[in-house]
């Protein structure tokens, strides 16, 4: 299906109001009724090349499922051979961040009203099994009447009953402490924590947890180290202390928040619509069909790799590990992290070369994991088991993180292997080493890894100044 250059179906296209790596968001007008809409235009090739099809489907399915006055709606999905068009509700007031930038802190009455609307929207999401996981002012829009609307469900998850989420994602200053332990967590409790951070910011004009050093920031979050301004009332302090509880088991729930005395003042609940309608994805499925057929005809590469999560990288690194705040570290496993400025396949070859140099045999396993053992056979008298493994995780097409670990065996061989690998990683393919250290790996916190309890993999979002995110 082809559309005129200045239109998409019945929609007349206007100016760009948002732009990201894979998409642009444009203001448009429905020619049948004159209603303004926002249309997100997604590049199919980039989505499929980055294996983000299921992430796009999940965001569309989630936003179709939710019908609440404080949540941005999707009207329909259109597609051509190269583009996907998501037609959304247009929210003219921009981000809550814009309001905060000039208003600084809000008056108590206004802050409470927006917080009430946020809680209503999040409660509705949770009742429909949806957990946002990236609540922050940038993802909260304001309509022409100043009412709040939640947007950007790109990191959302559909949590099954009795199941925990495992993907650590979101924005550093708003993330709940349990997400930093690299373990399972409850999506509802994590969203409540983010709501508490937003409430503090509305009332104080600044974040409760803020530090230019990411590790120091996470330590403050894990210990709930924050100071309330002098103008905070006792009711406000009490409510925040119960929401910003580092223990998710004792943290305030949404029903508890709704019953709070401070919250109840001037409270007018906003009711969502019952989710009786069946959610159909035929439109978005059809939008992907042509590009899938095209890709299927190309060379098949079964060894697809996933992007590393910044939270997982922190949990993997001993120097950055925050698990000591919660549990005792293992005394036996030895782990070393490397950064590689090579593709994932080139990195694997360098690991194999380093293993050969120190007389280790290599056994490849799935998902770019490698196990190494001594080549010579062990005798009963001189049995010295050696178990070294390496995992390669792609950060970007030419940037990888390598985690090398030794669970048993000779420390000297392990150190020799690490030294050899470090030397090889300084060399680009076919280029002699310049005797420089492997470059430090920088990871964007919006790279995410799929939860076991949600559909597909998460995806990277770039924010635009009007509050419409672009995949």
Picking from 100, 103, 153, the residue whose alpha carbon sits closest to that of residue 128 is: 153
Domain 96-264 falls in which CATH fold? Transferase(Phosphotransferase); domain 1 (1.10.510)
**Residue 312 near residue 306 (C-beta atoms within 8 A):** no
Provide CATH 3.30.310.80 ranges for the chain: 310-425
Provide CATH 1.10.510.10 ranges for the chain: 96-264
pLDDT recorded at residue 414: 86
Which residue bears the tokens 């509705």? 124
Q: At what angle do helices 411-425 and 344-357 cross, to 10 degrees?
A: 140
Q: Tell me how far apart the alpha carbons of residues 465 and 17 are, in angstroms, rounded to a whole number.
A: 8
Residues of the binding site = 40
Residues of the binding site for ATP = 40
Q: Which of 120, 123, 134, 399 is catalytic?
A: 134
pLDDT recorded at residue 158: 77
If you ran DSSP here, which 8-state letter would residue 332 be given?
Answer: S
Radius of gyration of the chain (CA): 25
pLDDT recorded at residue 426: 82
Side-chain-side CA neighbours of residue 457 (13 Å): 19
Tens digits of pLDDT across the chain (471 residues): 555 568 888 999 999 887 766 778 899 999 999 999 999 888 888 777 776 777 777 778 888 888 899 999 988 888 888 888 889 999 999 889 989 888 788 999 999 999 999 999 999 999 988 999 899 999 999 999 999 999 988 778 877 766 778 777 788 999 999 998 877 899 999 999 999 999 999 999 999 999 988 889 999 999 999 999 999 999 999 999 999 999 999 999 999 999 999 999 999 998 766 544 445 555 556 555 544 444 444 334 444 444 555 555 555 555 555 545 544 444 446 788 888 888 888 888 899 999 888 888 888 876 678 888 776 544 444 344 567 889 888 777 778 888 888 866 668 888 888 999 988 888 765 444 433 344 333 333 333 333 334 333 343 344 444 445 443
**Residue 141 near residue 118 (C-beta atoms within 8 A):** no
Provide CATH 3.30.200.20 ranges for the chain: 7-90+281-296
Superfamily per CATH, domain 310-425 = Kinase associated domain 1, KA1 (3.30.310.80)
Q: How many CB atoms lie within 10 A of CB 367?
A: 11
| pTM for this predicted structure | 0.63
pLDDT recorded at residue 408: 63
pLDDT recorded at residue 10: 92
Which residue bears the tokens 């509050």? 467
Question: Strand, helix or coil at 296?
Answer: helix
pLDDT recorded at residue 376: 55
- Can you read off the two tokens belonging to residue 114? 């927006």
245 is catalytic: no
pLDDT recorded at residue 8: 87
As beta bridge partners, residue 396 has 399
- Number of residues that make up the chain: 471
Mention the CATH class of domain 7-90+281-296.
Answer: alpha beta
Q: Tell me how far apart the alpha carbons of residues 399 and 380 are, in angstroms, rounded to a whole number.
A: 43
- Can you read off the two tokens belonging to residue 102? 């000039």
């Amino acid at each position: 299906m082809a559309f005129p250059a200045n239109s998409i179906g019945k929609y007349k296209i206007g100016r760009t109001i948002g732009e990201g790596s894979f998409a642009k968001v444009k203001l448009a007008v429905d020619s049948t009724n004159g209603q303004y809409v926002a249309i997100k235009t997604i590049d199919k090739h980039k989505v499929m090349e980055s294996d983000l099809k299921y992430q796009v489907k999940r965001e569309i399915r989630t936003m179709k499922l939710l019908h609440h006055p404080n949540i941005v709606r999707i009207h329909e999905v259109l597609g051509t051979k190269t583009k996907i068009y998501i037609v959304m509700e247009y929210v003219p007031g921009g981000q809550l961040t814009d309001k905060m930038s000039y208003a600084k802190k809000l008056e108590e009455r206004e802050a409470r009203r927006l917080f009430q609307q946020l809680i209503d929207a999040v409660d509705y999401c949770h009742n429909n099994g949806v957990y946002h996981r990236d609540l922050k002012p940038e993802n909260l829009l304001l309509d022409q009447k100043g009412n709040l609307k939640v947007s950007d469900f790109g990191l959302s998850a559909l949590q099954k009953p009795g199941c925990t989420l495992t993907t650590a994602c979101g924005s550093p200053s708003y993330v709940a402490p349990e997400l930093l332990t690299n373990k399972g967590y409850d999506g509802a409790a994590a969203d409540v924590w983010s709501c508490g951070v937003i409430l503090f910011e509305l009332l104080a004009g600044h974040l409760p947890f803020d530090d230019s050093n990411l590790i120091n920031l996470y330590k403050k979050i894990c210990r709930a180290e924050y100071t309330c301004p002098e103008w905070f009332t006792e009711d406000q302090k009490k409510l925040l202390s119960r929401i910003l509880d580092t223990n998710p088991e004792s943290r305030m729930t949404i029903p508890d928040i709704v019953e709070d005395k401070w919250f109840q003042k001037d409270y007018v609940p906003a009711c969502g619509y019952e989710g009786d309608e069946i959610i159909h994805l035929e439109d978005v499925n059809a939008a992907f069909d042509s590009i899938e057929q095209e890709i299927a005809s190309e060379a098949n590469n079964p060894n697809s790799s996933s992007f590393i999560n910044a939270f997982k990288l922190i949990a993997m690194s001993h120097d950055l590990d925050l698990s000591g705040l919660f549990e005792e570290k293992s005394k036996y496993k030895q782990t070393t992290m490397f950064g590689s400025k090579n593709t994932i396949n080139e990195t694997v070859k360098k690991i194999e070369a380093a293993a050969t140099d120190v007389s280790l045999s290599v056994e490849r396993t799935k998902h770019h994991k490698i196990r190494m053992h001594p080549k010579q056979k062990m005798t009963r008298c001189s049995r010295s088991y050696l178990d070294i493994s390496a995992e390669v995780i792609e950060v970007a097409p030419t940037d990888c993180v390598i985690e090398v670990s030794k669970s048993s065996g000779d420390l000297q061989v392990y150190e020799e292997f690490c030294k050899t690998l470090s030397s090889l990683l300084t060399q680009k393919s076919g280029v002699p080493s310049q005797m420089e250290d492997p470059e430090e790996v920088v990871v964007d916190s919006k790279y995410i890894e799929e939860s076991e309890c949600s559909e597909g993999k998460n995806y990277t979002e770039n924010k635009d100044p009007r509050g419409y995110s672009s995949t």
